[in-house]
Amino acid sequence: MVTERGLQVLRAIVQDYVDTHEPVGSRSIVERHAFGVSAATIRNDMAMLEDEDLIAQPHTSSGRVPTDKGYRAFVDHLADVRPLSAAQRSAITAFLADPADLDDLLARTVRLLTQLTGQVALVQYPSFARAAISHVQLVLLDERRVLVIVVTDTGRVSQRITPLEAPVDEERVEAMRLRLLPLLIGIPVADAADRMIRAREDAAQETPADVAMSAVASAILDELEGFRQNRLVMAGAATLARREDDFRGSIHPLLEAIEEQVTLLRLMSEMSSDERGMAASIGRENAAFGLSEASIIASEYDATVGTARVGLMGPTRMDYPRNLAAARAVARYLTRLLEEDESR
């Protein structure tokens, strides 16, 4: 059973180890923290923490470092996250202001988070399966290529250049658009996808007009299927190489997870949030995902179609209060921006 002072000692060890990257001894704790007790008393507390597998001794005669379990206890007993500075809050407001669309907003978000924290930044797209189509446009680029644009009522924009087997003109393209509008406008993404399957099948593909309609319906269907899939936006993979010494083993599993996305999407979706909407998955807790060398922290943001997460991935030796604060602040700002966009 860890005492309250034992938790305070654990907090001091985590903070000092994150700051210095050096094992922490009892004497340095007495010197750097106002416990009001002797080094011998702190050593007794450290012995109890070691018995609980919350700290470990890397080698004989060294100080102690937190274990994965110790980081978990530290995060679980984190009374409050470290507030961001006024300059950091201003940077968030300025960097995320006036995005062109949701894609632009989330791309900016991950770049900002990496700059604020020095970690790999991750942002989930909200699921758009329940979003509705608000706008469809077909733009003739030349007689055999049409730009297909689909917009949802949640701000998601998709553009795809569709090649055609036979030439078409402006009149034919406008006729296709008018045919598509009642099938798509105001229709939820999932239902719209089903309608595009039927539209593609209904085109007998006997005339050039049928072939063109089938190709455009297929392009829209592909985009709508993309709307329904979970996606991640990421930035900062280069930070892993700069911090390779912080990992006990190889960083290759992390790089593979970044490249493939599926593992990180599962992990981000399965993490349990606390009452503040924040979550952390630390070290060995990620073993099932092949990421036992990493920690992932996240905070929820709200979109019209539900909640999604803003997260950070890095070594277990990370500044959890600072990173959680950054993720929470950015998630709150994302929520506010999306709410403002919806109310316009």
Same domain as 234, residue 224: no
Same domain as 252, residue 215: no
Domain end marker among 169, 196, 228: 228
Task: Dig out the tokens for 3 from the structure.
Answer: 């005492």
Same domain as 278, residue 177: no
Which of 150, 116, 115 minimizes the C-alpha distance to 136? 150
Same domain as 238, residue 117: yes
Domain end marker among 54, 76, 98: 76
Residue 84 pLDDT exceeds 80: yes
Residue 257 pLDDT exceeds 80: yes
- Provide mean pLDDT across the span 43-54: 95
Classify the C-alpha dihedral 14-20-22-27 as positive or negative.
negative
Q: Report yes or no on 81 lying in a domain.
A: no
CATH number at residue 245: 3.30.450.40
Residue 283 pLDDT exceeds 80: yes
Q: Report yes or no on 218 lying in a domain.
A: yes
Number of domains, the chain: 3
Nearest 10 degrees: Cα torsion 331, 334, 335, 336: 120
Q: Is 33 left (phi over 0), alpha (psi -120 to 50) or beta?
A: beta
Q: Report yes or no on 52 lying in a domain.
A: yes
Of all helices (H) and strands (E), which one includes residue 223?
helix 208-228
Helix (H, G, I), strand (E, B) or coil at 137: strand
Report the predicted TM-score, pTM, of the whole model to 2 decimal places: 0.77
pLDDT digits (tens, 9 = 90+) for 174-209: 999 999 999 999 998 889 988 999 888 887 666 777
β-strand partners of 58: none
Of all helices (H) and strands (E), which one includes residue 234?
strand 232-235
Task: Dig out the tokens for 298 from the structure.
Answer: 């996240």
Phi/psi for 37 (5° steps) reads -130, 170
CATH number at residue 139: 3.30.390.10
Provide the edge-to-edge strand list for the sheet that holds 294-303.
232-235, 120-124, 306-315, 294-303, 278-282
Q: Report yes or no on 151 lying in a domain.
A: yes
Same domain as 50, residue 15: yes
Same domain as 222, residue 234: no
Q: What is the pLDDT of residue 278?
A: 92
Domain end marker among 228, 253, 275: 228
Same domain as 243, residue 113: yes
Same domain as 70, residue 188: no
Same domain as 138, residue 59: no
Largest CA distance in the chain: 90
Which of 59, 75, 58 minimizes the C-alpha distance to 14? 75
Same domain as 35, residue 22: yes
CATH number at residue 22: 1.10.10.10
Same domain as 57, residue 22: yes
Which residues constitute the domain of residue 140?
Answer: 133-228
pLDDT digits (tens, 9 = 90+) for 150-163: 998 877 788 999 99
- What is each CA distance from 62 to 21, 23, 24, 25, 274, in whole angstroms? 13, 7, 8, 7, 35
pLDDT digits (tens, 9 = 90+) for 307-327: 889 999 999 999 999 999 999
Task: State how far the Cα of 37 lies from the Cα of 309, in Å rounded to an integer.
Answer: 42
Same domain as 252, residue 104: yes
Q: Report yes or no on 141 lying in a domain.
A: yes
Q: What is the pLDDT of residue 119?
A: 96
pLDDT digits (tens, 9 = 90+) for 55-69: 999 887 789 999 999
Cβ pair 156, 102 in contact under 8 A: yes
